[in-house]
Amino acid sequence: MNALSNAWFDTEDLALRLRRHVVRMCASGKSSHVGSGLSMADIVAVLYGEVMRLAPADPRWPGRDHFILSKGHAGACVYAALAERGFMPVETLDTHYRNGSVLSGHVNHKGVPGVELSTGSLGHGLGVGAGMAMQLRRAGGTQRVYVVLSDGECDEGSNWEAILFAAHHRLSNLCAVVDYNKLQSLASVENTIGLEPFADKWRAFGWSVAEIDGHDHGALKRAFAEAATGDRPTCVLAHTVKGRGVSFMENQVLWHYRAPAGEEFVAALRELGVADA
């Protein structure tokens, strides 16, 4: 493995590790958004484990691909990926939510090597990602920019400003990934502000769209490979299950908020292959 190139992790194994970290971090920190982290664990594992060019020993390496978590509330999953990739010790994850920690609930760049953008207020990441993509292209680089959004986040008008902009400027080095788990803060997306026909909206705005199963690593890898060869920005519309991997958390709005405790914590980790939590 070259420190300044792609790492070829077993992404399925990495995704499982990320899910265990997310459950542990949300339990120990008594924090919300466990379902959001589990939902996108496969997307993050494929990006951090295989697709993105990263240099954990040199987080600001100019040749790196850029990752932005626009759905900042799922920060635990990204912290876990950074730790697994060696940007920080895995033990640091234990400090999530603690007084004096650098690991806030919403993803934070201060004190956390590898985080490009702090987010938390929704609808910020794609525009900043578009700016990064434009500047990287302007400087003649081949780096790519990946922005992971939630579905509920697409209610924010600022995203659609960025979607227009990126298409107009054919920012082919920009890839948006929507973690389309169909649940937002209080209810289903469909019963809140419906997004369908969602893929058509992106296409109509001038983006390439890859509509895939967001838990299928092969499909994710093919989509990212194809996105890298296109002449326009790509939206990977990743159909996912909120809470994926822990049966009683799947498709439940409750687990947008609830932190697993006691029996729930033990049962969740058992489902993720940890016999004695």
Query: Binding residues for another protein, per CB under 8 A?
Result: 66, 109, 116-121, 123-124, 126-136, 138-139, 157-158, 161-162, 164-165, 168-169
Q: How far is the CB of 182 from another protein (least distance, A)?
A: 26
| Token pair for 160 | 């659609």
| Token pair for 63 | 């040749």
Q: How far is the CB of 207 from another protein (least distance, A)?
A: 15
Q: How far is the CB of 205 from another protein (least distance, A)?
A: 13
Beta bridge partners of 211: 237
Output 118 or 172, the one with its CB closest to another protein: 118
Q: What SS3 state is found at 177? A: strand
Sign (positive or negative) of CA dihedral 8, 48, 242, 35: positive
Output 142 or 191, the one with its CB closest to another protein: 142
Q: How far is the CB of 116 from another protein (least distance, A)?
A: 7
Q: How far is the CB of 129 from another protein (least distance, A)?
A: 6
Output 21 or 73, the one with its CB closest to another protein: 73
Output 1 or 139, the one with its CB closest to another protein: 139
Output 174 or 195, the one with its CB closest to another protein: 174
Q: How far is the CB of 39 from another protein (least distance, A)?
A: 23
Report whether 230 contacts 208 (CB < 8 A).
yes
Output 104 or 181, the one with its CB closest to another protein: 104
Q: How far is the CB of 231 from another protein (least distance, A)?
A: 19
Sign (positive or negative) of CA dihedral 246, 252, 257, 263: negative
Q: How far is the CB of 230 from another protein (least distance, A)?
A: 20
Residue type, 170: R
| Token pair for 139 | 């400087």
- The backbone torsions φ and ψ at residue 17, rounded to the nearest 5 degrees and listed phi first, read -60, -40
Cα separation of 264 and 27, whole Å? 9
Output 108 or 234, the one with its CB closest to another protein: 108
Beta bridge partners of 263: none
Output 45 or 167, the one with its CB closest to another protein: 167
Q: What SS3 state is found at 97? A: coil
Output the CA–CA distances (angstroms, integers) from residue 123 to 158, 244, 246, in the order listed: 6, 24, 28
Of 22, 13, 103, nearest in space to 268 by CA: 22
CB atoms within 10 A of CB 117: 19
Of 9, 2, 20, 90, nearest in space to 45 by CA: 9
